[in-house]
Amino acid sequence: MTDVRGRTAFITGGANGIGLGIARAFAHAGAKLALADRDVAALERAKKELGEVSSVETVELDVRDRDAYARAADAVERKLGPVSLLFNNAGVAGGAPAPKLTYELWDWAIGINLGGVINGIQTFLPRMAERGAGGHIVNTASGAGLAATPSGVLYSTAKFGVVGLSETLQLELGAFGIGVSVLCPGPVATDIVARTAQSQPPANESQSDEQRKLRAERLGLATRVLQQGVSPDRVGERVLEAVLGNRLYIHTDRIMEQLIAARAQALLDALPEA
């Protein structure tokens, strides 16, 4: 794609963090914006800011709700025209030690971080393909979707899924003139840790004072690491460059370099002799 001007972008998790960074970059490049999020106050703030730059509609949406997703798509396309830029970005960062996980936690994390991406594709891809006007889909995964990290199995399972889905989708969608990118950020300075802590279901562990203190320390450390990361606006600019250049992988730093190399080498080393 050589220009996004005049196209309509649908961005989930568009009210805060990376989604808002993407919204800013695409608004300044001339795209119309549909911002979908469950944080209504942040949606209002984003609309006030970006309404000065481009046409902006907001929609309250939980990306797990498929019926609501279809209604949101109808509503924004009536107002802004066909969506041809889709950003499946909404996500949460939480988790718990593997032996303490519950089905509720699995359903919550996979439902948002992988199911939300699937729901976006199911809602918009048939419309985009049928219209034949091309477009681009960006799915937000993570560096934790490229090699095993201490991010925890809940998060990594979903993010590996998003990477595999994106790579495979790209094989198919070239024929429709629809590009696919997968965003695999390292640390980005957002409030995802605190936001997630407010909505995460409890793990299967007793909440002794000692454990509460340990958990608070873990969250504090994660927050400090992210605050030293790349700015969301810089990520938005990288995403814009990748869409314009039709590039599959979008990294935000080189933090995963050694883990990716080690994983690729270990896979090759495990192949049987020729």
Question: Where on the chain is the footprint of ligand NAD (CB under 6 A)?
Answer: 12-13, 15-19, 37-39, 42, 61-64, 89-93, 112, 140, 142, 185, 187-188, 190-192, 195, 226, 229
- CB of 15 vs ligand NAD, minimal distance in Å: 4
Residue 144 beta carbon to ligand NAD: minimum distance, rounded to whole angstroms: 7
Is 103 a catalytic site residue?
no
Q: For residues 129 and 248, which CB has a smaller minimum distance to ligand NAD in the complex?
A: 248
Give the Å distances, CA to CA, from 159 to 31, 91, 129, 204.
Answer: 27, 10, 25, 23
Between 42 and 243, whose beta carbon lies closer to ligand NAD? 42
Among 69, 103, 155, 249, the active-site one is: 155
Bridge partner list, 12 = 36
SS3 250: strand
- Are the C-beta atoms of residues 200 and 252 closer than 8 Å to each other? no
d(CA 36, CA 160): 24
Min dist CB 3 to ligand NAD, Å, is 26
Q: Report in angstroms how near the CB of residue 59 gets to ligand NAD at its nearest.
A: 10
Helices (H) and strands (E) in the chain, counts: 10, 7
* Residue with Cβ nearer ligand NAD (110 or 188): 188
Give the residue with the Cβ less far from ligand NAD, 134 or 187: 187
SS3 for 116? helix
**3 state DSSP class of 36:** strand
The C-alpha atoms of residue 157 and residue 151 are separated, in whole angstroms, by 10
Q: Which of 182, 183, 138, 141 is nearest to 160 (CA)?
A: 141
Q: Which residues are catalytic?
A: 155
